Amino acid sequence: MKLYGYWRSSTAYRVRIALNLKGLTAEQVPVHLVRDGGEQHRPEYTALNPQAAVPTVVTEGGSVLTQSLAICEWLEERHPRPPLLPSDPEARARVRAFALAIACEIHPLVNLRVLGHLTGSLGLSEDDKLAWYRHWTGLGLAQLEALVAGHSGTGRFVQGDSPTLADICLVPQLYNARRFDLDLSACPTLVRIDQACRELPAFADAAPERQPDAAVT
Amino acid sequence: MKLYGYWRSSTAYRVRIALNLKGLTAEQVPVHLVRDGGEQHRPEYTALNPQAAVPTVVTEGGSVLTQSLAICEWLEERHPRPPLLPSDPEARARVRAFALAIACEIHPLVNLRVLGHLTGSLGLSEDDKLAWYRHWTGLGLAQLEALVAGHSGTGRFVQGDSPTLADICLVPQLYNARRFDLDLSACPTLVRIDQACRELPAFADAAPERQPDAAVT
């Protein structure tokens, strides 16, 4: 199995955590999202993934999988143990909704291509870009906090006491928030869960700074 | 079962199609996203859905489900026939990736709250807002076209000859694109599939203009 990713991409980070939780290994193929205008736009990469985005997984059978949450669901179906989703359908729905609240409400608005569009095509200032980042990430995290604080389903992790797809999405988004110096004091439950996750080797080993393509900063 | 939605919301539209394909009915509870600053921000609604967004489903057992794709996956698990996902794991991954390419790459950038933020907080003009809409939707649809055109998995619908979660996301996004007069001539495969879908009663009956809260325009 091959994983095309980038050390600091929060969507590739999700897949690294999922692979680690499943005890699977993949050959990492770095796709540098910034250098030379972005290696994800090269024809040999867009032939694989027309969305010009990471991650992409190529399975041992040669199938090409895109979109991090679709890849995680595929991992769950092909390698069910340990599970990334609880068994109860309503709990599964809660986990997926939390993951999607990140994948559909936060990340799409604050990823590299959108931030680049703001300062590029739209001509906004760096300050405007940062205000945009903080607005959408801050709003999204406050809404996530409301989903977990005091909810009976919340345990050591977002759902109960085992990590799930929800935690797989949470940790990379909080990593991203810290890169932008976002104040997380309004999200104590998220911060507590993030800490519990990062104590697990599956999460720690997936951290951006531990990847082979991590830049020395 | 209750479905909190809005006639013109493309995410509520997805859930209406899924319910119809499953042969299920839900009591529709309209949440007007524009009137009086948006009914989705009312405390009685955010108590149900802290994200202040539609759709929300309340099951007969009283569980509250949010995020349209999580709701569709729940429907699939609780009511497996007819399936919204193929049986083969790689084909399932392809369907989910297509759905997520809409839910994570197009819709989040061009929904009501983001377009409102552009002209409100950022003070952009209507023309700039339309250019933003056309940039992200046009780019996203071109990438979707590349996922289906000439792919062996594509049939009468995105995956084979039965409608799936991919089609459930495609039709509302093309409805939205037409509202904004987007030129769809670069996406002939998407347009063909959309047409095939809308010939089915499950899709036709879910159309915005057929909903009880549809405005007379």
Q: Is the pLDDT of residue A40 over 80?
A: yes
Q: Looking at the partner chain, which of A50, A78, A100 has a beta carbon nearest the beta carbon of B70? A: A100
With H, G, I as helix, E, B as strand and everything else as coil, classify residue A66: strand
pLDDT tens digits for A105-135? 999 999 999 999 999 999 999 999 999 999 9
Q: Tell me: the pLDDT tens digits for A162-172? A: 999 999 999 99
The whole-number average pLDDT for the span B39-57 is 95
Q: Is the dihedral of CA A71, A76, A79, A84 positive or negative?
A: positive
Q: What are phi and psi of B4, to 5 degrees?
A: -85, 120
Q: Which fold has domain A89-203?
A: Glutathione S-transferase Yfyf (Class Pi); Chain A, domain 2 (1.20.1050)
- The confidence band for A215, taking pLDDT boundaries of 50, 70 and 90, is confident
Taking only residues 65 to 94 of chain B, the set having a beta carbon closer than 8 angstroms to any beta carbon of chain A reads: 65-67, 69-71, 73-74, 77-78, 89-90, 92-94
**Cβ burial B81-101 (10 Å sphere, 16+ → b, else e):** eeebbbeebbbbbbbbbbbbb
Judge if A2-82 and A89-203 fold alike in CATH terms: no
Is residue A164 a contact partner of residue A17, using CB atoms and an 8 Å limit? no
Tell me the two tokens of residue B199: 């010939």
Q: Do A101 and B77 touch (CB under 8 A)?
A: no
Q: What is the CA radius of gyration of chain A?
A: 17
**B104-110 average pLDDT score:** 98
CA distance B77 to chain A (A): 7
The answer to whether the beta carbons of residues A187 and A142 sit under 8 Å apart is yes
DSSP annotation of A214 reads P
Which of these, A103, A93, A61, lies nearest to A78 by C-alpha position? Answer: A61
User: Quick one: closest CA in A to B107, which residue?
Assistant: A104
User: How many whole angstroms separate alpha carbon B140 and alpha carbon A51?
Assistant: 8
**DSSP state letter for A64:** E
pLDDT at B36 over 90: no
Chain B residues with CB-CB distance to A52 below 8 A:
143
Q: Is A166 helix (H, G, I), strand (E, B) or coil?
A: helix
CATH class of B2-82: alpha beta
What's the distance, CA A99 to chain centroid? 9
Buried b (16+ CB within 10 A) or exposed e, A128-151: ebbebbbebbbbbbebbbbbbeee
For residue B190, pLDDT beyond 80: yes
Banded pLDDT at B217 (limits 50, 70, 90): low
Instruction: Report the candidate in B99, B120, B81, B118 with the shortest Cα–Cα distance to residue B172.
Output: B99
pLDDT band at B146 (very low <50, low <70, confident <90, very high): very high
Judged against a pLDDT cut of 80, whether residue A145 lies above it is answered with yes
Contact criterion met (CB < 8 Å) for A71 and B93: yes
pLDDT of residue B127: 96
Query: Residue A217: is its pLDDT beyond 90?
Result: no
Distances (CA, A) of A168 to A177, A203, B99, B151: 15, 8, 20, 31
Hey, where are the domains in chain B?
2-82, 89-203
The pLDDT of residue B84 is above 60: yes
Question: Does the structure show a pLDDT above 70 at B169?
Answer: yes
Q: What ipTM is given for this predicted complex?
A: 0.97
* Average pLDDT score over residue span A21-48: 94
